[in-house]
């Protein structure tokens, strides 16, 4: 099962923290909003992606799993929906300090 | 029945609504609700029953613009957990489209037939007809809903008025509105079919799609496919505007030529410069291509266009296409819900660049800048609004390349001051200004702030 980064553009407030923690997949546009490369994450990037999702102050950065095995049942005809969940794990102390910084100050 | 037109518009009177009795006289009763004939509505435990299969065989696609296969959507709702609900989308936020209004105004029972059938097929006991504020005067629908009570169809029909707005008819916006929130798109998933109105699996279906469904239920998939082309069977409603003798709503067969439609509308009353297809957030096609142009997605694909919601807006050669596009672009930017940074900033930047080009103040590199902004904006909103809006800018850059470079060099042309040929409704949303994510600073200051955060 591969995971990829997606951003909820409604929740995103252009803090830009994600681009610093995952520059391999996230760059910022003219207005400071993340441009996300949605290719599957390799194992070593996954950890960084999780951290980026954790520090996003508006929980706009999400990890999306797809390719989860389709249940071979009557529901098979239903279009496969990627599941999205917000990864909110215990943030590491280093990361947490960053979240307190308000980039607009 | 033979393969003739009109189908949906059979017996239509633009000035009054067909009563239930008149409607039944024209189209006959619904199958199996009255006669028990074809048993189209027998539900199967797996997915939505025979009607959905018939719709799938017919190849019916949504007529709200996205052209999604109707059967897939119904099946997804039918097989989702929980009591389903149906939303009839007749909000028609597209200013150049009149077809849904015509349907509700004149043929409300055909749409309600489709709503009842769709509801029964997906296991819903309720259907809500949504119109925008502009069309809140559609008493024909309320009257029709009242007339149907006597039929005891097992589906509770309701009527709801949605605030005006280009994106308020977007599926998730309707769902949020019906749940008591603002009529603005939401981030998906969950998709409406998973969790929509009241958290129930929700089938949001365009009014015309449901009208076709009512016809397919009566006459079957084979009949439906007797018109149109293999990749896009059936007939469709289009709204033709511009310099023709009789602008208005027409029912055409998919693949019919634009020339034949223009002819049916009494011919051109002025020379045409280009045609805007799909909607205001649509695609410009050069008038030189009109001859032989077929109205189907397959035939329009080479032009980057599609039939969409059936808007066919002709622009006369007297108008300035640059000024006209700049106005549309500004309006589309203003119609952004202001929720997603890339949408609101990108569309305003594109609109601004367009206005500067039109005024001759853009400076060098405007074309490259436009192309870059288009790439930066496309696909980055919670809904598809920015994607359509950049399509307008992109196709204008191609079709009006000459006029654009002329404006860039010499400024406004003689036709720039003419009254707009494409009318724009003056909807305003006071809330939008406050919730807008429009960045007022420059790009430079944004990146400086970022460096500050790192320090
Ligand atoms: S950290 Fe969150 S809010 Fe900030 S730019 Fe990234 S996704 Fe948007
Ligand atoms: S993409 Fe634009 S119109 Fe759509 S929800 Fe976001 S801000 Fe609103």
Give residue-wise pLDDT tens across range A1-20. Answer: 689 999 999 999 998 889 99
- What is residue A16's predicted lDDT score, i.e. its pLDDT? 85
Percentages (nearest 5) of helix, strand, coil residues in chain A: 30, 20, 50
Q: Could you write out the DSSP letters of every residue in A38-73?
A: -SPPPHHHHHHHHHHHHH-TTS-EEEEEE-PPPP-S
Element (H, E) at A26: strand A26-28
The tokens of A104 are what?
């607009």
Q: What is the pLDDT of residues B284-307, one digit of tens each?
A: 999 999 988 999 999 999 999 999
What is the value of pTM for the model shown? 0.86
Q: Which domains does chain B have, with CATH numbers?
A: 20-226 (3.40.50.11540), 234-316 (3.10.20.600), 321-417 (1.20.1440.230)
Residues with CB under 6 A from ligand 1: A 7, 12-18, 34, 56, 58, 60-61
CB atoms within 10 A of CB B178: 21
Q: What distance in angstroms lies between residue A86's CA and the mean position of ligand 1's atoms?
A: 13
Ligand 2 pocket test, pick from B166, B184, B376, B378 with the greatest ligand atom count within 8 Å of Cβ, gives B184
> What is the percentage of chain A residues whose pLDDT exceeds 90?
54
Residue with tokens 């000035």: B15
User: Is the Cβ atom of B182 under 6 angstroms away from ligand 2?
Assistant: no
Residue A100 has pLDDT above 60, yes or no: no
Residue scoring higher pLDDT (B230 or A68):
B230
Can you tell me whether residue B131 is helix, strand or coil?
A: strand
Residue B201 CA, chain-centre distance (Å), reads: 22
Q: In ligand 2, which atom is closest to the CA atom of B380?
A: 1
> Which ligand is the nearest neighbour of the Cα of B437?
2
B48 neighbors B88 (Cβ within 8 angstroms): no
Closest by alpha carbon to A84, among B322, B190, B79? B190
**Phi then psi dihedrals of residue B26, to 5 deg:** -75, -45
Q: What is the pLDDT of residues A38-66, one digit of tens each?
A: 999 999 999 999 999 999 999 999 998 87
User: Is the Cβ atom of B338 under 6 angstroms away from ligand 2?
Assistant: yes
- What is residue B428's predicted lDDT score, i.e. its pLDDT? 62
Contacts of A61 (CB under 8 A, 6+ apart): A5, A6, A7, A8, A12, A18, A34, A52, A53
| B382 at A interface, C-beta within 8 A | yes
Residues of A in contact with B439 (CB under 8 A): 14, 31-32
Q: What distance in angstroms lies between residue B43's CA and the mean position of ligand 1's atoms?
A: 46
Instruction: Name the residue at shortest CA distance from atom 8 of ligand 1.
Output: A12
- What is residue A81's predicted lDDT score, i.e. its pLDDT? 39
Q: Residue A31: which of B80, B341, B381 has the nearest Cβ?
A: B341
Pairing of the two strands B248-253 and B235-241: antiparallel
Q: Which of the residues in chain B have pLDDT under 50?
A: 33-39, 42-48, 430, 433, 441-455
> Which ligand is the nearest neighbour of the Cα of A16?
1
The tokens of B349 are what?
């930047």
Over the Cα atoms of chain A, what is R_g?
15
State the pLDDT confidence band at A70, using cuts at 50, 70 and 90: very low
- What is residue B13's predicted lDDT score, i.e. its pLDDT? 85
Strands (E), B78-222: 84-90, 124-132, 156-162, 202-206
Can you tell me whether residue B177 is helix, strand or coil?
A: helix
Give the ipTM: 0.83
- What is residue B437's predicted lDDT score, i.e. its pLDDT? 78
Residues of B in contact with A27 (CB under 8 A): none
| Shortest CA gap B440–chain A (Å) | 9
- What is residue B435's predicted lDDT score, i.e. its pLDDT? 61
| Shortest CA gap B114–chain A (Å) | 22
Q: How far is CA A85 from CA A4, A7, A99, B134, B176, in A?
A: 11, 11, 20, 39, 20
Element (H, E) at B146: helix B139-148
- What is residue B429's predicted lDDT score, i.e. its pLDDT? 58
Pairing of the two strands B283-286 and B232-233: unpaired
- What is residue A93's predicted lDDT score, i.e. its pLDDT? 27
Handedness of CA B89, B90, B92, B97 (dihedral sign): positive
B55 neighbors B213 (Cβ within 8 angstroms): yes
Q: Which domains does chain A have, with CATH numbers?
A: 3-70 (3.30.70.20)
Q: How far is CA B314 from CA A47, B63, B231, B244, B295, in A?
A: 54, 21, 26, 8, 14
């Amino acid at each position: 099962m591969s995971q990829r980064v997606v951003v909820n553009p409604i929740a995103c407030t252009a803090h830009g923290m994600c681009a610093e923690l995952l520059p391999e997949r996230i760059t910022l546009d003219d207005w400071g909003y993340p441009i996300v490369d949605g290719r599957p994450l390799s194992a070593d990037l996954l950890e960084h992606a999780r951290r980026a999702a954790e520090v996003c102050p508006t929980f706009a950065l999400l990890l999306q799993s797809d390719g989860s095995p389709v249940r071979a049942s009557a529901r098979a005809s239903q279009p496969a929906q990627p599941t999205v969940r917000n990864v909110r794990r215990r943030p590491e102390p280093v990361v947490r300090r960053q979240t307190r910084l308000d980039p607009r100050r | 029945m033979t393969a003739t037109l009109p189908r949906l518009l059979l017996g239509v009177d633009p000035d009054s609504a067909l009563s239930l009795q008149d409607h039944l006289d024209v189209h006959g009763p619904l199958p199996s609700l009255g006669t028990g004939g074809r048993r189209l509505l027998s539900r199967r435990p797996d997915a939505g029953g025979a009607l959905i299969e018939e719709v799938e065989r017919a190849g019916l696609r949504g007529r709200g613009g996205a052209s999604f296969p109707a059967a897939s959507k119904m099946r997804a709702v039918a097989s989702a957990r929980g009591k389903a609900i149906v939303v009839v989308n007749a909000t028609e936020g597209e200013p150049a489209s009149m077809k849904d209004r015509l349907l509700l105004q004149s043929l409300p029972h055909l749409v309600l037939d489709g709503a009842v059938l769709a509801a029964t097929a997906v296991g819903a006991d309720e259907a809500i007809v949504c119109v925008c504020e502009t069309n809140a005067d559609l008493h024909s629908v309320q009257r029709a809903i009242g007339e149907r009570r006597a039929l005891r169809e097992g589906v509770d029909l309701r009527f709801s008025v949605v605030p005006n707005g280009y994106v308020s008819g977007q599926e998730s916006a309707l769902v949020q509105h019906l749940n008591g929130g603002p009529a603005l798109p939401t981030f998906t998933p969950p998709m409406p079919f998973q969790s929509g109105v009241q958290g129930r699996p929700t089938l949001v279906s365009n009014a015309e799609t449901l009208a076709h469904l009512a016809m397919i239920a009566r006459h079957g998939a084979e009949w439906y496919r007797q018109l149109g082309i293999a990749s896009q069977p059936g007939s469709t409603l289009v709204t033709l505007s511009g310099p023709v003798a009789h602008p208005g709503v027409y029912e055409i067969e998919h693949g019919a030529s634009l020339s034949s439609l223009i002819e049916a509308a009494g011919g051109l009353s002025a020379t045409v410069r280009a045609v805007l297809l799909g909607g205001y957030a649509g695609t410009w096609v050069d008038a030189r291509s009109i001859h032989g142009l077929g109205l189907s997605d397959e035939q329009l694909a080479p032009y980057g266009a599609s039939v969409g919601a059936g808007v066919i807006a002709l622009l006369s050669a007297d108008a300035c296409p640059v000024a006209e596009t700049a106005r549309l672009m500004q309006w589309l930017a203003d119609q952004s819900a202001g929720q997603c940074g890339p949408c609101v900033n990108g569309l305003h930047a594109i609109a601004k660049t367009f206005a500067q080009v039109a005024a001759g103040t853009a400076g060098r590199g405007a074309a490259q800048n436009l192309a870059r902004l288009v790439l930066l904006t496309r696909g980055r909103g919670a809904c598809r609004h920015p994607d359509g809006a950049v399509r307008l800018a992109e196709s204008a850059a191609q079709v009006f390349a000459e006029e654009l470079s002329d404006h860039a060099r010499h400024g406004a042309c003689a036709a720039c001051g003419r009254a707009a040929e494409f009318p724009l409704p003056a909807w305003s949303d006071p809330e939008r200004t406050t919730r807008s994510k429009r960045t007022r600073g420059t790009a430079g200051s944004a990146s400086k702030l970022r460096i500050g955060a790192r320090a």
